[in-house]
Amino acid sequence: MRELGYIELKKPIRHGWFKEIIITHKVERYKNKAAILEVYDKIEKAFWGRTKIEAQKKWLYQTSKHLIYKDFPTINKKQFNKLSFKAQCMCTPFYYKNERKKLKLRFYIRIPKEAYRVKYTRAYVTHSKRIDPLLESESVLLEQQLLKRGYFEADQKLNRWKDYWYQSHLEKEKLKTKRALKGIKKYSIQDILKEKITWEIN
């Protein structure tokens, strides 16, 4: 369905805000302008939110993860290796601990303050997805098929992400079994061996 592409809207629709970094006209003053623009091309330039407050929260969230330094995003080792020598000279390495307490390497970017600024920009929806009704109906049919007994379990085995809904279902089944086993304690072993009682869960 993604290959169907998008249709340009006749009139853009207002949809939230971007907090973004833009290069100013003052970048022309610097001899290393090409290196500045090269580094700028590698960074994450904008953070979207439905409101300015939400956009600011996302900005602060990234800051807390050591991705922004002095109002300018940092880059990882892979991005750094793709830069030219002059652009790499504008970067300073630093280590930080991620959520798993592992040391990770990133790079601060030393760009002149006057060469860029941070601002809020209105966001617009300019394109709409092309939708094929036949493909949509087939997609829904496949989703329903995967919920059937047998298909669902097979799909879960192929999916490496843990399904907490399914995990909850298993825990309920285990609890039912545990209660049933606890219930047969009041019967004698002879009755159980002669199969006079049953504890299977239907």
Give residue 187's domain range.
171-202
In whole angstroms, what is the distance from residue 196 CA to residue 201 CA?
A: 16
- From the list 73, 64, 71, the residue with the least C-alpha distance to 98 is 64
Regarding whether 90 and 190 lie in a shared domain, the answer is no
Phi-psi map region of 178: left, alpha, beta (phi>0 left; psi -120 to 50 alpha):
alpha
In whole angstroms, what is the distance from residue 156 CA to residue 34 CA?
A: 50
Backbone torsions φ then ψ of 45, nearest 5 degrees? -90, -25
Q: Are strands 72-73 and 91-97 parallel, antiparallel or unpaired?
A: unpaired
Regarding whether 6 and 102 lie in a shared domain, the answer is yes
- From the list 47, 50, 55, the residue with the least C-alpha distance to 73 is 47
Regarding whether 91 and 49 lie in a shared domain, the answer is yes
pLDDT for res 134: 73
Q: What is the pLDDT along the chain (202 residues), one digit of tens a residue?
A: 456 678 888 888 998 999 999 999 999 999 999 999 999 998 888 999 999 999 999 888 887 777 777 778 889 999 999 999 999 999 999 998 877 888 889 999 888 989 999 999 999 988 887 776 776 777 777 777 777 777 666 666 666 555 555 556 667 777 777 777 777 666 666 666 566 555 554 4
Regarding whether 103 and 17 lie in a shared domain, the answer is yes
Residue 122 placed within a domain? yes
Regarding whether 101 and 186 lie in a shared domain, the answer is no
Regarding whether 198 and 116 lie in a shared domain, the answer is no
In whole angstroms, what is the distance from residue 44 CA to residue 41 CA?
A: 8
Q: Where are the beta strands (DSSP E) in 66-130?
A: 68-69, 72-73, 75-76, 91-97, 103-109, 116-129
In whole angstroms, what is the distance from residue 11 CA to residue 21 CA?
A: 26
The three-class DSSP label of residue 139 is helix
b/e for 115-153, b at 16 or more Cβ within 10 A? bbeeeeeebeeeeeeeeeeeeeeeeeeeeeeeeeeeeee
Both structure tokens of 118: 């941070």
